[in-house]
Amino acid sequence: MKHSMPATPLVPNVREKAAMDHRAIHGDIVRAIRDGSMPVGARLPTERELSCRYGAARNTVRKAMQVLVGEGLVTRQVGRGSFVAGKPDEAASRPDVPTLAEILEARLLFEPDIAPLAIERAGPDDFAEMERCLEGIRDALDWAQYKERKYALHLAIIRATRNRFLIQIFEAVIAARRLDGWGHRGQAAQVPPAVRTAALRANGEIVEALRAGDAERARLAMQDYLTRTLASLNGF
């Protein structure tokens, strides 16, 4: 009689474990802020403490904290630590509001491929509007303004296609993000300089490629920007 060998337990690879740890750290902190066990102003555990508690790499902990900062839930003060800055908006848990991850997945399916049409039909006024939007991103005073102006830039690019259906799709994207409060709970919080700089660099590259009439470069720049944004949500 043959004896079956015991099943070998599945061990997640490094990337899978990092993603699992990222979700666990982010999710636990969000829940603690939401239920009040971590009130606004409370000091969070250090990166070292979180790394030990979850058995996670310090880099994974750091990325989870960066996402929390980006969501306006946490603020980091040099030499003092990390503190709760705001509470999650209940709209984020509504089943009828698409998540940012879902929206980014959809945008990746069509947005990079609009580059040739935008280049073919864009005029001086379109590029002037794109530049105004980039300036708006640079000058935004808080997260709400920053998000509005960043999405306004991509709407300006899509409006340059003169395709009303594409414009309607992206206006629906903006409406969904506004309904979710732009995914931000501390909208009056300032945008971290590193976040603003990275966004300006990535979006400036898109506009520059469109202005140069380089459709492939623009497509790749859009794809890279959206992929990086989606990856950051998953802890990669």
Q: What is the CATH number of the domain that holds 111?
A: 1.20.120.530
Tokens of 145: 């303004």
* Position 188 confidence tier, pLDDT thresholds 50, 70, 90: low
Chain segment 119-176, per-residue pLDDT in tens: 999 999 999 999 999 999 999 888 888 999 999 999 999 999 999 999 999 999 998 8
Residue 224 to residue 202: CA distance in whole angstroms = 8
What is the residue whose two structure tokens read 């030990």? 52
Q: Is the pLDDT of residue 69 over 50?
A: yes
Residue 119 to residue 45: CA distance in whole angstroms = 49
* Position 71 confidence tier, pLDDT thresholds 50, 70, 90: confident
Average pLDDT, rounded, for the chain: 85
Q: How many CA atoms lie within 13 A of 210 on its CB side?
A: 34
Chain segment 195-211, per-residue pLDDT in tens: 899 999 999 999 999 99
Domain CATH number, residue 78: 1.10.10.10
Among 84, 116, 141, which residue terminates a domain? 84
Chain segment 3-20, per-residue pLDDT in tens: 444 444 444 567 778 888
Residue of 198 and 72 predicted with greater confidence? 198
Measured in whole angstroms, the distance separating CA 148 from the mean position of its chain's CA atoms is: 13
Per-residue pLDDT, averaged over 92-116, amounts to 84
Q: Are residues 149 and 185 in the same domain?
A: yes
Domain range for residue 33?
A: 14-84
Residue of 189 and 108 predicted with greater confidence? 108
Among 62, 84, 106, which residue terminates a domain? 84
> Quick one: pLDDT at residue 66?
83
> Quick one: pLDDT at residue 7?
45
Q: Is the pLDDT of residue 1 over 50?
A: no
Residue 76 to residue 85: CA distance in whole angstroms = 9
* Poorest-pLDDT segment among 28-32, 43-47, 189-193: 189-193
**What's the predicted TM-score (pTM) here?**
0.62
Q: Judge contact between 84 and 33, C-beta under 8 A.
A: yes
Q: How many CA atoms lie within 13 A of 116 on its CB side?
A: 3
Q: In the chain, pLDDT over 90 holds for what percent of residues? A: 49
Among 52, 84, 116, which residue terminates a domain? 84
Burial 29-47 (b: 16+ CB within 10 A, else e): bbeebbeeebeeeeebbeb
Burial 18-28 (b: 16+ CB within 10 A, else e): bbebbebbbee
